[in-house]
């Protein structure tokens, strides 16, 4: 046992580290703990599954902030996939994991046996995992629980797809992300972010699209002030 878990926020942890999660007052009612990426809870113990910095935010959510690039599918994750094959009534989709996921032609808004979606090999699809565990083939859908697309489906015409670390993706998807706010001050663009580390962007022209992609990749290891300075300089030089 390596001490109290909550005291380690902001420190670097390694796989295999085990911590206790206990309140200072033993008579208090046990707290609810939400383990995010890189952590697993077993009773009053928390096991670290990957290396990185322990982060925390309100509602007792803890996770490991790492520069991991290998994606492990998780149920509920929204990802950007590449259609690689058609197999009967199922599309095979590359999501960057250890195996390809399946996507039924009926898993699109308004799809029926007579009204099949227009999906071709090589298309990009924004979809969500409904099955993702070690014992079953990963399965994706392009509809929510109400049968609506809700932004999911085939997309990507005229844009650029590239890959970043999973840590940067979480920073971009965070509510009120400072990186996204700073980026929006450069010039108009569209962006789709997948939890699997893939990002698609499209701006007014090819040059601006490449600039947005390069800015996102460059802010991976930048401090906030460095990032703001770089983004402001780019915005001034492209006006």
Q: What is the pLDDT of residues 119-130, one digit of tens each?
A: 999 999 999 999
Q: Flag whether pLDDT at 98 surpasses 80.
A: yes
- Tell me the CATH number at 30: 2.40.50.100
Start-end of H helices in 184-237: 206-218, 224-237
* Residues 85 and 92: beta-carbon distance below 8 Å: yes
135-138 — which CB contacts under 8 Å span 24+ positions? 137/99, 137/101, 137/102, 138/73, 138/95, 138/97, 138/99, 138/100, 138/101, 138/102
Instruction: Measure the CA–CA gap between 18 and 47, rounded to whole angstroms.
Output: 5
- Cα 206 to its chain centre, rounded Å, is 25
**72 inside domain:** no
Closest CA to 152 of 201, 213, 194, 89: 194
**166 inside domain:** yes
Chain-wide mean pLDDT for the chain? 86
Q: Flag whether pLDDT at 27 surpasses 50.
A: no
Percent of the chain with pLDDT over 70: 91
Q: Flag whether pLDDT at 138 surpasses 90.
A: yes
* Residues 11 and 19: beta-carbon distance below 8 Å: no
Instruction: Report how many domains make up the chain.
Output: 3
* Residues 213 and 160: beta-carbon distance below 8 Å: yes
- Would you give the DSSP letter of residue 161? E
Average pLDDT of span 84-90: 91
Is the domain of 101 the same as that of 143? Answer: yes
Q: Flag whether pLDDT at 30 surpasses 70.
A: no
Looking at per-residue pLDDT, the higher value among 155 and 65 belongs to 155
**Boundary (domain end) residue, out of 155, 179, 201:** 155
Q: What is the pLDDT of residue 207?
A: 92
Q: Flag whether pLDDT at 12 surpasses 50.
A: yes
Q: Give the domain range for residue 92.
A: 78-155
**73 inside domain:** no
Average pLDDT of span 62-75: 80
Average pLDDT of span 131-151: 91
Looking at per-residue pLDDT, the higher value among 137 and 44 belongs to 137
Is the domain of 13 the same as that of 60? Answer: yes
**Boundary (domain end) residue, out of 103, 135, 155:** 155
Is the domain of 126 the same as that of 179? Answer: no
- Phi and psi at residue 164, in whole multiples of 5°? -135, 180
Is the domain of 140 the same as that of 190? Answer: no
Summarised one tens digit per residue, pLDDT across range 147-181 is: 899 999 999 888 999 999 888 898 899 888 999 99
Closest CA to 102 of 114, 84, 123: 84
């Amino acid at each position: 046992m390596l001490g109290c878990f909550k005291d380690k926020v902001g420190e670097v942890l390694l796989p295999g580290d085990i911590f206790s999660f206990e309140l200072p007052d033993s008579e208090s009612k046990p707290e609810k703990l939400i383990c995010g990426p890189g952590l697993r809870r077993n009773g009053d113990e928390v096991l670290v599954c990957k290396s990185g910095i322990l982060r925390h935010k309100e509602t007792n959510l803890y996770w490991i902030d790492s520069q991991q690039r290998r994606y492990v599918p998780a149920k509920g994750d929204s990802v950007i996939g590449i259609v690689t094959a058609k197999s009967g009534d199922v599309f095979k989709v590359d999501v960057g994991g250890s195996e390809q996921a399946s996507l039924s032609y009926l898993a699109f808004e308004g799809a029926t046996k007579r009204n099949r979606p227009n999906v071709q090999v090589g298309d990009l699809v924004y979809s969500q995992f409904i099955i993702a565990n070690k014992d079953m083939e990963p399965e994706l859908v392009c509809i929510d629980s109400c049968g609506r697309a809700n932004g999911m489906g085939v997309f990507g015409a005229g844009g650029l797809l590239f890959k970043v670390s999973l840590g940067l993706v979480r920073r971009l998807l965070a509510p009120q992300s400072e990186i996204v706010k700073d980026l929006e001050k450069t010039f108009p663009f569209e962006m789709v972010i997948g939890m699997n580390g893939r990002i698609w962007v499209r701006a007014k022209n090819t040059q601006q699209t490449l600039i947005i992609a390069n800015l996102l990749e460059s802010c991976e290891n930048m401090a906030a002030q460095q990032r703001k300075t770089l983004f402001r300089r780019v915005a001034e030089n492209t006006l």
